[in-house]
Structure 1
Amino acid sequence: MSASANDTIDLQAIFKKLLSKWWVFFITCALAIGGGVAYIKTTAKIYLVKTVVMMSEKDKSAMGSKEEFLKGSALMNNSSAIEDLIAQLVSVSNVTKTMQRLEFGIAYYERKDFLTQQKFEYPPFFVKLDTVAIQVFGLPIHVKVDREAGTYRVQAEAKHAQLYNVQKQIELEGFIADYKVDEVRKIGEPFVAEGLSFTIEFPEDRNYGNDKERYFTINSLDALVAEYRDKTTAGALSEESNIVEVMTTGEVTAKEKQYLNKLVETFIESELLRRQRKGRSTINFIDEQIGVVSDSLRKSQESVEKIRKQDGVFDVGQSVDVILNDRSRLEDERSQWVRKRQYCVSILSKLRTNTDYRNVPAPQSSGIDDAVLNSTVLELTKLSADLAAENMNTVKSNPKIVTMERRIRNLVGSLISTAEGLVEQADITIADLSKRLGTLNFRMNKMGRTEGSISSAALTSELTGDLYNYLMEKKYEASIAVASDQVDKYVIDIARNASGKPIKPAKKMVFGTALMLGLLLPLGFLLIRDFFNDSIENLDQLKRVSSIPVLATIPSSKRKRIMPDEPKSLLAESFRTARINLQYLNTGKQRQVVGFTSSTSGEGKTFCAVNLATVMALSGKSTIMVDADMRRPRLTETLGLTEENKGLSTYLIGEARLDEIIRKTDIQGMDMISAGPVPPNPLELVELPKMEELFIELRKRYDNIIVDASPMGLVSEYVIISRHTDVTLYVVRERYTKRGALRLINEMVKGKKMTDIDLLFNDVEQASGDGYGYYTK
C-alpha cells in the first residue's frame, strides 16, 4: 500500500473517531457558548469616543507679508509639523492640565449580579473630600445606607493602602499596612477615620436597596493622567491632511466626551498663550530700544536749542549743503552700525547669561537686515520651544532631547561667534565712519563753527526722531498683532460616540472565540490523546502494524461464553466464521491442534479459546481444551468448573494418567484438561517428552485440540508448545494491545521462527471493524 493511501486511511480513521465523539464537541461548544454569554453579561461595555480637530501647520496672522517687519507677527509664527502638534496634544503635560480642570478625582460604582458599572452622570451619592487631610486612594470604599436607622456604613480594606495629598495632588511614599475600616455614622455627619476624611450626601431621590453593592474610589492625579494618557490616541486622516482624529475608550461615554472636549480646549488655549507670550516679548524689546532712542533724541534737541541761544543763529545756510548731505549719509550708515552693534551686544549678554532661548529677539526688531543672523535666531527660538515641549513629555536622557540640546548648543556657539564678529566689524566700521565724519566736521568748522554746530545738532536730532517714529510704528503694529492674534486650530466635530455601540465585549468575536474553543479544545485533547495512545485502535491500523493475516474479528460482548441456546448471536456467528476460515481457507493444511497466545494478559486469549472450542463442539466435532498456561490458569474458572489437584502439571511429572486429567464440560462433545497445581518451573515441564506423548494421544482421540497457552510477550513457554500445534492464533485486543507489542511476533514471522500463524482481532466495536469474518493475507 502506498504512502498516500495510508495517509488517506489515517485521515478517514481520525475523522471517524472524531465523529464518534460528536457528543463531546456538542457539550464543549454548549459550555463555551454559555461561558461567552456569561462573559458578555458580566463584563462592562467599553465605547469608542472621538473628536475631530483642525490642526494646521501654519498659524493665521493679523499682519502683512514676510518682507515687512514682524512679517505679520512672523516672530510668533513658529510652525510645527502635524506629528509634533499631535504629540503636544496627547502629551503628559496637556493631559495633566486637562485632569486638573476636570472633576474625575472620585469615581462611583454599582455592582449587581457580577456586573460592575461606573455611575458618572447619576451617582448613588456625592462625596466631598477634606482636601487638608491625607487620604487613601486606589481602593474601593463601600457605602451601605440605612435610611430607616438614619445611618450609613463605610467599609474599606487593603493589604497596603497608599496615601495621597489631595491639596498638593501628589502620591506619598508611605502606606498603611493591613488597612481596614468598618464604621457607622449618622447621615449628614462627616466621616473621619484613619486615611479617610470626607462628607457624603445622599439625595432623596436615590433608592438604596440591598440588591446592589455601592462604592467609590479616590483617584490620584498621577493615576488618572497615566490611565487617560495610555488610552488616548490621535492621528491625521491622511499623510497630507491637517485634520486629526483624537480617540479614547471607556465605560461611560459622557465622561469620555467631557475629557476629549476639555483636552482639545486646553491644548488650543495653551497654543494661544504661547503665541501671546512670544508677541509680548517682542514688544518689550522694542520698548527697550525706544527708551534708548528717546534719550538720544532729547539730548540732540537740547543741544540744538543751546547752540541757537548762545550764538543767536536760527537758520542753517546753504553753504554747507554739500557737506551736510555727505554727513547725513555717513551718519545714517554709522547709525545702522551702532544699532547692529547694540543688538549684538544685547544678544551676547542674553546668550551668555540665560539658558532659555525661546524669547531671544529677532535682528529685524532692531532694523538689522542680516539673513544669516536672522535665520539662526529664528531656528534657535523654534528649537528651544520644541525642547521645552519635549521636556514635559519624557525624560532628559531621551536621545531626541539629547540631540536637540546638542543642536541648540551648536546654534548658540555659532550665534555668539557671529555676533562677536559683527561687534568687531562694527567697531572697525564705526571708527572709520567717525573718522570720516570728523573730517567733514573739520571742513564744516572752517566754514563756520556756529553754522556747522547748528547743522550737526539739527541733523542728529532729525535722524534720531526718524528712528523713534519708526520704532513707535513697529510697536503699534506688534500690539495690534498680539491683540488680534488667534490660532487656526479648532474643533470640527465635538466628542461623540464613534460607533453607537460597544466595541468591547465584541459579541461576534466572543461567540466566535467560544465556538472555536469549544471545537479546538476537545479536538486537541482527542488528537493528543490519540498521538500518545500506542494501542491498536482498529482493523486498518492492525493491518498496517503487522503483515500477519487476520483470521477474524470478534465483536465486543458482555458475555464470557457462547450459550448453546443462542446459536445465532453475533458472538456465535463471529466465532463460527473464525472456525470456517480456520478449516476451509487453508485447505491442504492440517489444522487439528490450535494454539492460543497473545502479547500480554487481559487481551481475551482464554475467552477466544473457549468460544472457538464451543462452536467446534456444537458443529459435531469432538473437541478438547488444554489449559497450558500453568502460570495463571483461567480455563477452569471460565468454564465454571472447580479446580482439582490433578491436571496438566501432574500429568507431565508422571503423577497422573491422561484419563485422570480429562474432564467433561457443560458442552456436549467438549472436554478439557486443566492446568493443575501451579508448578515452580512451567518452562521445564513443557520441554518434557510427556508433552509430546500427550498431543500424540489427543490427536488420536479428538477432532480438534484447543491449547490455551501463556502470553508470548511475557514468557517463552509457547515457543516450545508451538512445536506441537498446527496453527497459532495470536489474539489482539482493540484499544488494549500496544502496537509495539506486535514487534516480537512480527520479527519471529519475518525470520521464519514461527509459521502457520493468524491474528484474531478481539473486542472490536462494530463500527470499527469490517464485520466479523474478515480474512486477509
Structure 2
Amino acid sequence: MPTNPANDIIDLRVIIRKLFSKWWWFLITCTIAGAVGVAYLKVTPKSYMVQATILMGEGGKPGFGQKEDFLKGMSLVRGSSQLEDDIAIMTSRSNIMKTLRRLDFGVAYYETHDFMTEERYDYPPFRVRLDSVAVQVAGVKIHVKVDRAAKTYSVSAEGQNVQLFNVQKQELMGDFLPEYKVEETIAIGQPFSAQNLSFRIEFPEDRVYETGSDYYFKIVSLDQQFMNYISRLNVEEPENDGHMVALSLTGTSTNKESVFINKLMETFIEGELYKQQQKGIKTIDFIDTQIDTVAGTLKEAENEIAQQRLTSGMPGSVGNVSDALFQERSRLEDQISIVRRKRSYCSGVVDKLRSSDDCNFPPPSGFEDPVLNNLILDITRLSADLSALRLQSGGKSNPTAVAMERRRRNLLSTLEQTAQNILTEADITLTDLSGRLGRINYSLGRMPEDSKQLGIKERKFKLSETLYNYLMEKRAEAGIAIASDEVDKVIIDEANVVGGGSVGPQKKLVLGGALFIGLLIPVLIILVRDFFNDSIADLEELKRVSSLPVLGLIPSSKRKRVLPDEPKSMLAEAFRTVRINLQYLNANVPRQVLGFTSSSSGEGKTFCAVNLASVMALSGKRVLLIDADMRRPNVQKTMDLNDGPGLSTFLIGETDLGSIIQKSDIAGLDVIGAGPIPPNPSELAEDPRMAELFATVRERYDHIIVDASPIGLVSEFVVLLGHLDLSLYVVRERHTPRRALRQINEMVANGKVGRVDLLLNDVKAERAQGYGYYTK
C-alpha cells in the first residue's frame, strides 16, 4: 500500500486549526503587547519635523569675475555635479562643526515627569555656566535637586567609562574614567566643583521645581553634537534639474532643530562668499604688484624726457615731420609689449604646470584672451571645491573627489596646450612686428639724433602711462566687484514645523506593531514547536502521514480497562465503535485473530488489546487474549491476574495449553499470559508449538486478540504475522513519531506485512467524542 501523497504538502487548514486551538495564547500576548504599546506612547515624547529650503542657484547669478564685465571672458561655469558638490560641502563635518561652534548647544537640559523625559531647550529649569579652564565629564546625566526652603541644591552623577572633555579647546580627551560618581549638596549661588566637574548654576526666581520631577543636564562635546545631528539631518535633492534643496530634522525640540538648520545654511553661504571673495583679493594683489613695477618705469621715463629736453634745448616735442613715424613706432611697440606680456605669462604658466602641482594662476593682465581666462577660472574654482571635499572626507577615497580630480587634470592639460599654442602664435607675431619696427627705426635713424632720442623717450613715457592707467582702472573694478559680490545661494524658507503636528510616535503604527507582535509570537512558537515536534498531533495529521485505514479514536483515560459495570462510559463506547467497524466495515476481511502492535513501548497497545477484548466479550463473544510480548509482558497485571505459567512455558513444553488459560472477571474472556520472561523470545516465537496453539484456539474462540511486541523494536511480531488475520497498529497522539508511520507504510507497500489498520490512542476527549466511522 503506498504512502499518502499528501505527506509533504502543507495543509493550511491544519495550521489554522492549531492556531485557533491556542486562542488563549493570542489573547495573553496581544494584551501584553498592547499594554506595552500604550505604555510606550505614554512615556515617549512627541517628535516633530522642521524643514527649510535653500536655492543653490543655477550658475547665472553675478559673482566675482562677472560684475561690470570685469576681465572680459571670465565666467563661472556650473558643472553637472556642482549641485551635489554644494550639498556635500554644506553637510560636511567642517561646516557642521563650524555651525555648532556658533551655537550654545554645549549643555543640554532635561526634565523627567511621569516617566516621560523631554529636553528643555526653550525653558530650561536652570542655566549652567561651565568653568572653561576645567576638564569636564561628557555625556553623563548630572542630576540637580533644588531645595528652596533650605536654599541648597544637590548634584549627583554616576557613570562608567566616562570620557573627559576639554571645554577650552572644545575637544574630547583620550582619557576615560572606568567609574565615576559624584554626590554633593551646596548652597544656592555657590559654584560647584568636584572631580572633573566644575560649573555655576543660575536658578530662575520664578521657577517652581516639582517634587515628582527629575531635572538633569548633560555636557555635550562638539563631536557628540556632530554625531547627533549628522545622523538625523536629511537632505532632499531637487528633481528635474531643479536647484531647490530641502533640509529637515526630526526631534522633540522644534526651536533647537530650527536654530541649527538656519545657522547651518547661514554658515554655508558665508563660507561660499568668503571663498569667492578670496579670488578677487588675489587678483588685486597681483594687479598691485604690476602697478608698482609700471609706476617705477613711468617715473623713470618722465625723468629721462626732462633730462633730454634740458640737454638738447628742445622744450617741446619733436617736429611734425617725425610724428607719423614715431606714432607708428609707438603703436608697434605697444603691440610688441602686449605680445611679449602674453608670451611671458603663457611661458610662466607652462613652466609652472610642468614643474609644480600648484594650480593657483592669477588672471592675465595687460592683454585679453577669453579662452585662457575661462580655463584659469574653471581650474581655480574646481581646485577650491576639491580641497573642501577632501577636507570633508578626511583624506579618504571619495568617488566624487576622484571624478573632480580627473576633470581638473583634463583642464590643466587643455590649459597647457592652449598656452603652448599662444606661445607659438606670439613668436610668429613678434617676428613680424619686429621686422616692421626695424624698418621704422631705420627711417627715424635718418632724423636728427636729439629729436630721435626725445621721441623715443616720449613714446616710452606714453606706453608706461597707458599701461599704468589701465591697471589702475582694473584695480578699481576689482575692488567694486568684491564690495558688491554675492553668491548664488539664497535661503528661501527658514526652518519651521511641517506636517501639521507631531510625526512620532505614530499611535496607529505603534499599536498596530504591538498587535502584530502579539499575534506573531504565538504563531512562531506554535510553528517552531510543530516543526521540531515529530509526533503525530491528531487524526488529520495521521491521515496525511499514512493512507492506512483508521479504525477509530481511543480517548485519553486514566483507567486501564473497561469495567463490566460501566458499559456506557466513553472509553467503552470508543472500543465498541472499533468492534463494530471490525465487524461490519471489514466484512470481506478475515478478522478472527487480531494482532496489536506499535512503534515502541508506551504507545498503548496492551491497553487497546485488553479493552477491545473486554468489549468483544461483553457483546457475548468468546474471546481469548494472548500476551505475546514475552519481553515486556503487561496483560496479567492490567487484568489483575496472577503471574504463573504462560505462553513461554507452553512453547518450551513445560505446560500444556489448558494449564496456561486463565479466566478473567468478564464472562467469555480468557487470558493467556506471557509467562516467565525467556532468554530467547524470538526463537520461541518460531517454535512449531506456536502454530499448534493458534490452530487449537481458532476452533474454541470467536476472536483471538494478540498483544504482540512493538514492530519497530523487535522481530517477534514479524514472526507472528503468519498466524494473524489482521494487524492493528496503535498510534498514540502526541507521542508516536511520524517516521514510525513512514516505516509501517513502507512495510505494507513492500508486502512485508499483510493487512494493517490503525488505532489512534490517547486522543483528547472533545476530539474523540462522536467519532464512529471507518476512514480511508
Equivalence for 2:551: 551
Q: Distance in 2 between matches of 1:411 and 1:37?
A: 63
Does the Cα contact within 8 Å between 2:29 and 2:519 map onto a contact in 1? yes
Matches within 5 A, 1:708-747: 708-743=707-742, 745-747=744-746
User: Which deviations, in whole Å up to 9, do the C-alpha atoms of 1:264-307 show, x marking residues without a partner?
Assistant: 11111222222222223323333333333333333333333344
Does the Cα contact within 8 Å between 1:142 and 1:216 map onto a contact in 2? yes
Q: 1:229 to 1:578 in 2, by over 3 A?
A: closer
Q: 1:382 to 1:65 in 2, by over 3 A?
A: closer
Q: 1:186 to 1:349 in 2, by over 3 A?
A: farther
Look up the SS of the partner of 2:283 in the other structure: helix
Query: Greater CA deviation, 166-175 or 78-87?
Result: 78-87
Equivalence for 2:448: 448
CA shift for structure 1 position 241: 0.8
Q: Distance in 2 between matches of 1:591 and 1:422?
A: 117
Q: 1:750 to 1:174 in 2, by over 3 A?
A: closer
Residue identity in the other structure for 2:303: E
Equivalence for 2:604: 604
- Are 1:116 and 2:117 counterparts? yes
Equivalence for 2:773: 774
CA shift for structure 1 position 133: 1.3
Q: Distance in 1 between matches of 2:299 and 2:454?
A: 15
Equivalence for 2:337: 335
Q: Distance in 2 between matches of 1:699 and 1:352?
A: 117
CA shift for structure 1 position 570: 3.5
Does the Cα contact within 8 Å between 1:261 and 1:494 map onto a contact in 2? yes
CA shift for structure 1 position 53: 0.8
Q: Distance in 1 between matches of 2:591 and 2:434?
A: 142
Does the Cα contact within 8 Å between 2:3 and 2:746 map onto a contact in 1? no
Q: Distance in 1 between matches of 2:120 and 2:707?
A: 81
Q: Distance in 2 between matches of 1:49 and 1:186?
A: 40
Q: Distance in 1 between matches of 2:64 and 2:353?
A: 29
User: Which deviations, in whole Å up to 9, do the C-alpha atoms of 1:570-590 show, x marking residues without a partner?
Assistant: 433322222223234444766
Q: Distance in 2 between matches of 1:686 and 1:434?
A: 133
Equivalence for 1:488: 488
Q: Distance in 2 between matches of 1:621 and 1:420?
A: 124
Q: Distance in 2 between matches of 1:30 and 1:464?
A: 95
Does the Cα contact within 8 Å between 1:76 and 1:275 map onto a contact in 2? no
Q: Distance in 2 between matches of 1:630 and 1:373?
A: 111
Equivalence for 2:473: 473
Residue identity in the other structure for 2:386: L
Does the Cα contact within 8 Å between 1:76 and 1:278 map onto a contact in 2? no
CA shift for structure 1 position 167: 1.0
Does the Cα contact within 8 Å between 1:553 and 1:771 map onto a contact in 2? no
Q: 1:126 to 1:353 in 2, by over 3 A?
A: farther
Equivalence for 1:317: 319
- Are 1:368 and 2:370 counterparts? no
Does the Cα contact within 8 Å between 1:108 and 1:216 map onto a contact in 2? yes
Does the Cα contact within 8 Å between 1:75 and 1:279 map onto a contact in 2? no
Matches within 5 A, 1:500-515: 500-515=500-515
Does the Cα contact within 8 Å between 2:660 and 2:672 map onto a contact in 1? yes
Percent identical pairs in the alignment equals 52
Residue identity in the other structure for 1:319: V
Query: Greater CA deviation, 248-257 or 577-586?
Result: 577-586
Residue identity in the other structure for 2:712: G
Residue identity in the other structure for 2:481: A
Among 318, 325, 328, the alignment partner of 1:326 is 328
Equivalence for 1:265: 266
Look up the SS of the partner of 1:728 in the other structure: strand
Q: 1:5 to 1:467 in 2, by over 3 A?
A: same
Q: 1:470 to 1:689 in 2, by over 3 A?
A: closer
Does the Cα contact within 8 Å between 1:78 and 1:382 map onto a contact in 2? no
Look up the SS of the partner of 1:487 in the other structure: coil
Structure 2 runs not aligned, ≥5 long: none
Query: Greater CA deviation, 176-185 or 92-101?
Result: 176-185
Q: 1:154 to 1:574 in 2, by over 3 A?
A: same
Equivalence for 2:185: 184
Matches within 5 A, 1:586-597: 586-587=586-587, 591-597=591-597
Does the Cα contact within 8 Å between 1:51 and 1:245 map onto a contact in 2? yes
Structure 1 runs not aligned, ≥5 long: none
User: Which deviations, in whole Å up to 9, do the C-alpha atoms of 1:554-582 show, x marking residues without a partner?
Assistant: 23344443344543444333222222232
Q: Distance in 2 between matches of 1:378 and 1:418?
A: 14
Q: Distance in 2 between matches of 1:75 and 1:217?
A: 52
Q: 1:461 to 1:254 in 2, by over 3 A?
A: same
Q: 1:678 to 1:433 in 2, by over 3 A?
A: closer
Equivalence for 1:583: 583
Report 1 or 2 for greater relative contact order, CA contacts < 8 Å, sequence distance ≥ 6: 2
- State the number of aligned residues: 771
Matches within 5 A, 1:697-708: 698-699=697-698, 702-708=701-707
CA shift for structure 1 position 97: 1.1
Equivalence for 1:498: 498
Residue identity in the other structure for 1:314: G
CA shift for structure 1 position 143: 2.6
Residue identity in the other structure for 1:367: G
- Are 1:293 and 2:287 counterparts? no
Equivalence for 1:379: 378
Q: Distance in 2 between matches of 1:419 and 1:753?
A: 100
CA shift for structure 1 position 157: 3.1
Q: 1:547 to 1:256 in 2, by over 3 A?
A: closer
Q: Distance in 2 between matches of 1:603 and 1:463?
A: 121
Look up the SS of the partner of 1:713 in the other structure: coil
CA shift for structure 1 position 433: 5.8
Look up the SS of the partner of 1:457 in the other structure: helix
- Are 1:138 and 2:139 counterparts? yes
Query: Greater CA deviation, 81-90 or 153-162?
Result: 153-162
Look up the SS of the partner of 2:387 in the other structure: helix
Q: 1:134 to 1:546 in 2, by over 3 A?
A: closer
Equivalence for 2:163: 162
- Are 1:764 and 2:766 counterparts? no
Does the Cα contact within 8 Å between 1:643 and 1:676 map onto a contact in 2? no
Does the Cα contact within 8 Å between 1:396 and 1:402 map onto a contact in 2? no
Q: Distance in 2 between matches of 1:261 and 1:379?
A: 30
User: Which deviations, in whole Å up to 9, do the C-alpha atoms of 1:739-759 show, x marking residues without a partner?
Assistant: 322455445544545435432
Residue identity in the other structure for 2:573: E
Q: 1:393 to 1:775 in 2, by over 3 A?
A: same
Does the Cα contact within 8 Å between 2:75 and 2:377 map onto a contact in 1? no
Residue identity in the other structure for 2:484: S
Q: 1:113 to 1:683 in 2, by over 3 A?
A: farther
Equivalence for 2:233: 232
- Are 1:523 and 2:523 counterparts? yes
Q: 1:560 to 1:175 in 2, by over 3 A?
A: same
Equivalence for 1:29: 30
Q: 1:696 to 1:344 in 2, by over 3 A?
A: closer
Does the Cα contact within 8 Å between 2:76 and 2:377 map onto a contact in 1? no
TM-score by length of 2: 0.87
Does the Cα contact within 8 Å between 1:313 and 1:450 map onto a contact in 2? no
CA shift for structure 1 position 260: 0.3
Query: Greater CA deviation, 482-491 or 25-34?
Result: 25-34
Look up the SS of the partner of 1:774 in the other structure: coil
Q: Distance in 1 between matches of 2:675 and 2:600?
A: 21
User: Which deviations, in whole Å up to 9, do the C-alpha atoms of 1:651-675 show, x marking residues without a partner?
Assistant: 6566667666555444344344444
TM-score by length of 1: 0.87
Does the Cα contact within 8 Å between 2:94 and 2:392 map onto a contact in 1? yes
CA shift for structure 1 position 38: 3.3
Does the Cα contact within 8 Å between 2:33 and 2:517 map onto a contact in 1? yes
Matches within 5 A, 1:627-646: 627-639=627-639, 641=640, 643-645=642-644
Query: Greater CA deviation, 47-56 or 412-421?
Result: 412-421
- Are 1:533 and 2:521 counterparts? no
Query: Greater CA deviation, 433-442 or 557-566?
Result: 433-442
Look up the SS of the partner of 2:71 in the other structure: helix
Does the Cα contact within 8 Å between 1:234 and 1:245 map onto a contact in 2? yes
User: Which deviations, in whole Å up to 9, do the C-alpha atoms of 1:690-717 show, x marking residues without a partner?
Assistant: 6556556655654444333333333333
Query: Greater CA deviation, 290-299 or 100-109?
Result: 290-299
Look up the SS of the partner of 1:104 in the other structure: coil
Look up the SS of the partner of 2:11 in the other structure: helix
Does the Cα contact within 8 Å between 2:25 and 2:522 map onto a contact in 1? yes
Residue identity in the other structure for 1:110: E
Residue identity in the other structure for 1:336: I
Equivalence for 2:395: 396
